[in-house]
Structure 1
């Protein structure tokens, strides 16, 4: 079991990151140039296959073992009326996942991913972060370690998602704490709150930022003060994947915000991750711009539970199928480009 002894220990782990395999990526690019199609005619599909190869160190890359991890947690800030649903829905949805009846169950089967749902102390919500840190240091480190240990070292790809009533408020507060701006910059309607609820949510986030102003110079203190157990676990899983050189697909706004401290601690800290999609949640586009990430898809989704990233996985499979299965010009006896 992984154990981070302190925030300093975790900070060191977040800054000690391996690079990928340039030769594997170059081999993919070289093969792409010989396939029976105009150069770069498959657009971003080609770049995504190179990205897979760079982090896996394989040419061609593989998508045989895909781990889809959905972390669930509860948030004390829901007492402030920031969600259209009560906190008990988190546990109810975890049961729905276990019964195979949620959207992500269908998508996991479709994509061939191994879905695991990991609830984190659902009976013990985080503190209301308008008055206290969401998580004390020991609980934050424990949640990070849980996410870290959930990633098997032999996975070809990790897909990350979450479930937690109130967690779009936590994600918006965390994003604002990391990148500046108040509630209005990152808050959205989450589970479907009305205008009054959105105004209340923005005010709650601004109070939290004021309460924890002294923590905002440190990305990990910010994550502990304004996040939640499932967000901390996503951070840990993303870190573990980087240490094992496993590429990652992030889901929507909450998932992206949870991983963002890695970027703040090291500018290339999320180079092994792709944004699976652009969520309809208001702050996601702003956050992706801050991170310099271009989403694979934009379908107006805002469900969470790794659903957008799961659909993006189908795009990765499409790119890899073309790369691995197409003939070269020589093999197909098709005339290549004239110089």
Structure 2
């Protein structure tokens, strides 16, 4: 399957119309801050001066990682499937926040090391029972990576609505994300590695050493897809495909934290115009996320110290997207409200 092709949203005439509409609202110029640039971005994505949000959705991709054999996580691998069960039972943070904000939630088994059987609410896209240990060999084959991309593309194309958020669950996936970040940006591993689910200082140092040995072992992995297959997870690869397909459909992409942003980093190296479609929900408390956002020239909406994943930042940021489109469509103009403008 060929990768989706993404067009830039650049449209100077439409941008001028959007900012004219924004500036004519009953407020001092620029006084709604980042909501104004967000409203303009949504309008450019949707190619209209009156953008609307329709059926926002969020997909949580779950997968296991062979790298956990190197003792890089504070939690055992079994937590991945246990948290998937929690999602299905509506008990996780993302269930609460998605329900609160009217966001349709899909849970995808991209490659969890557990047999769930046929379950209501779980989409089975399992590539395998977790990736290989990339300290020893590539996490997945090129064929497995391609299949994960194809599943992600199909999922995004089948999703209704025009806003798609991305979440993940996978013990060990901050190690994958840090390796991907280092390999694609050149930022030192020490600046990419964080505590993940709660490693102490010694644990972080061990995790750093594992990644440094792994990237040295796979020094020839350089292209975006080679880096993804060598260091990624099935859930990360599936997100890459879904992001590309969502942007091709001119959907708004809501980007969560560190792991989701690492998937976007791969997608952006494949199709740079994808960044036009992204709204970055927050800056994670995971070390490295701030620098990864900077490498993408991204400005996050929220700074809440989150580091949970699951797409929680996306669900929490969604009301700000509603605020952006609502002020643009519902707020009075100086003329309609008969309010005097600045001298």
- TM class by shorter-chain length? over 0.9
Gaps of 5+ in 1: none
1:110 to 2:89 alignment: no
Secondary structure at the residue paired with 2:135?
A: coil
Q: Counterpart of 1:121?
A: 111
Contact 1:21 1:53 survives alignment (8 Å): no
Aligned residues, how many?
326
Q: Counterpart of 1:133?
A: 138
Secondary structure at the residue paired with 1:78?
A: helix
Contact 1:329 1:335 survives alignment (8 Å): yes
Gaps of 5+ in 2: 114-128
Q: Counterpart of 2:307?
A: 302
Q: Distance in 1 between matches of 2:20 and 2:132?
A: 53
Deviates more, 1:144-153 or 1:223-232: 144-153
Contact 1:182 1:206 survives alignment (8 Å): no
- Structure 1 residues 66 and 24 mapped into 2: Cα distance closer, same or farther (>3 Å)? farther
1:157 to 2:163 alignment: yes
Contact 2:9 2:44 survives alignment (8 Å): yes
Q: Distance in 1 between matches of 2:30 and 2:181?
A: 35
Q: Distance in 2 between matches of 1:266 and 1:235?
A: 11
Residue of 86, 89, 98 corresponding to 1:96: 86
- Structure 1 residues 210 and 43 mapped into 2: Cα distance closer, same or farther (>3 Å)? same
Contact 1:277 1:297 survives alignment (8 Å): yes
Superposed CA RMSD? 1.5
Residues 247-299 of structure 1 deviation map (CA, whole Å, 9 limit, x = unaligned)? 11100000001110222234433221122100000010111111111111111
Deviant stretches of 4+, over 4 Å: none
1:18 to 2:12 alignment: no
Contact 2:7 2:273 survives alignment (8 Å): no
1:190 to 2:196 alignment: yes
Secondary structure at the residue paired with 1:311?
A: helix
Contact 1:68 1:116 survives alignment (8 Å): yes
How far off its partner does 1:24 sit?
A: 4.5
1:52 to 2:57 alignment: no
The TM-score normalised by the length of structure 1 is 0.92
